Amino acid sequence: MNANAHLDFYLEDGCITEFENTFRKSMKTCLSDHLKDILKGRRIIFDSIEQTTIPIRPNGGFDQCKVTPQMVHPSEKVTSISAIDSSVLHLARTEEGRLYAAKAGVVISSGKRIRRHFRLGPMLIYLTEEFLHNSKIDHNLGNLLLVDSGIAKRLIRIRLERSIQLVFTSRLSNSIILIDGALRPSAFEDYNCTINRVIEMSTLSNNDIIGLSKNTNMTILHQFENLLKKLAYSACLDTSCMIKSLARNMLGNNLLVKLGKNENEYVLRADICSANGNDLECLGRLIGNDILSRSYPESLRIAHHISTFTTTEVSSLKGFISKSYGTEVVDQAATRRNILGVSFV
C-alpha cells in the first residue's frame, strides 16, 4: 500500500482522540478532567523547571564478538515514517500527591518530505496513593513513585508513548514506527499496553519498529564508532551479542548505525524489530524516506521539539491550575525567606 494513502488518517481528529483514550485507560482517574474536585481547596507548591537526567547502566562482562560493517543502500520504496517523542514535567506538590504535565509530538515523513506533525497535550496528571493502588503497580515501586519525581515522570512518559505506538501499529501497515530510545520492556508499562504487544501488533500489520538512542553508557561500543565514522557511505554494525550481554530484556536486533553517507557523521544505537527480518532493507527505507541531519532523522528531531515544554507554557499551566481548580498556592520562597531572613552580604 502506498504510504501516502495513510495520510488521511493523520488528518482526522479521531486519531488524536484515540491516542488520548488509550493513554487514559492506562492512567485511569489521575488525568486533568478529574482534578477540579480532587484539587479544590488543596494547598499546592509549584516547582521550577527541572533538568532531565539519564540513569547510568553498569557495564558487565561479555564474549568478544566479530563485527563487520555492512553498507546500507537507500531505498526508493515510498514508506511512511512515524516519529514519536514525549516529555513530562513535574509541576507541583500537595499533601496527597504530585502534579505532572505531559506532552507528546508525532511527525510523519515520506519521500524525503515532512508530511504532517501534531501535538498531544499538555495533559495534567495527578499521582496519588489511590491511583497507584488501582494501577496494580508493585507496592514498593508505588511508594518510590510518590517520593521520586524522576521515576514518576518516566512512568508517565512510557505509558504515553506506548499508547501512541499501539494505536499506530494497529492502524497502519507497511510503515516504520520511529522511537526515541531503546526497545526494552519496563516495569512502568500498563499490562494492556506493553512494548511486546506493540511489536506483536507491528508484525501482524507488517510494520517495522526502530528505536534510536543518541548516547550509550555501554563504553565497549565506543571502540566501534570510529570504524563506522571513517566509512564514506551509510553503514551498520550488528552488536546484538555485546548489547544483550550488558543489558537484560533488550528486544529486536541491536545495531550501531551511521545513517548519513559522509565521514564523521554521528553514530547511533538502533534496536530494530523488522516484520520481514531484513534490518538492512528497513534502514534503507528509513534513509530513503526521512531527511537526515548529521545522521539523525529530521522527523524524530522535530517530534522532540514539539513535545518540549517552554517557559511560557509552564507559567500558563500554573496559572490555569490556580484559577480553574481553586487551589491555595503556597509560596515556598516566601516561607524560606521568613524563616532564614534576608542576607545582607
Look at the pTM and tell me if it is higher than 0.85: no
Nearest to 195 by CA among 171, 166, 154, 156: 166
Q: 106, 303 in Cβ contact below 8 A? A: yes
What distance in Å separates the CA atoms of residue 259 and residue 211, rounded to the nearest whole number?
A: 14
Q: Which residues pair with 293 in a beta bridge?
A: 296
Grid cell of 186 as nine digits: 519496563
* DSSP secondary structure string for all residues of 227-270: HHHT-SS-EEEE-HHHHHHHSTT--SEEEEEE-SSSTT---EEE
pLDDT, tens digit only, all 345 positions of the chain: 444 445 455 445 566 666 667 766 666 555 555 666 677 767 677 765 444 433 333 344 434 455 688 888 888 888 889 999 999 999 888 887 888 999 999 999 988 889 888 888 788 888 887 777 776 677 777 778 788 888 889 988 998 999 889 888 888 888 999 999 888 888 888 888 888 999 988 888 899 999 998 866 566 666 677 788 888 888 888 877 777 666 677 787 888 888 888 777 788 888 898 888 888 888 999 999 998 888 899 999 999 999 999 888 888 888 888 887 777 777 665 555 555 555 554
Grid cell of 88 as nine digits: 513530562
